[in-house]
Amino acid sequence: MGKDDKLIKIASYNTELIYNPDFVGMHDGNMELIKCFKDNIFISIKLDVKKSKYYVATVFDVKQSKIDSYVRSGRLIKIDEKRNI
């Protein structure tokens, strides 16, 4: 999959990524969200304190093994289907 194809895929999942993540966490002051689709998508959101705005700092496909590692380390937690952490 090319870079443009990935951007289109991520943009089409944008709302689902932000409002219904499967995993959430904080790292280096960034909020991290993961949504599990056919390809798992990792998104890191930063807060620009001076402008009081959030922006996407990083977006990439992430392997299940990396998600599992982040969960084991406490960096991420899984959100259950009832939206309870």
- How do residues 5-49 score in pLDDT, each as one tens digit? 666 666 666 677 778 888 888 888 888 888 887 778 787 777 777
What letter represents residue 27's amino acid? H
Residue 84 forms part of a structural domain = no
Residue 17 forms part of a structural domain = yes
Residue 32 forms part of a structural domain = yes
Question: In angstroms, rounded to a whole number, what is the distance separating the alpha carbons of residues 27 and 56?
Answer: 14
Say if strands 41-48 and 23-27 run parallel, antiparallel, or are unpaired.
unpaired
Residue 73 forms part of a structural domain = yes
Instruction: Quote the number of domains for the chain.
Output: 1
Which residues form the domain of 50? 3-78
Residue 83 forms part of a structural domain = no
pTM over 0.85, yes/no: no
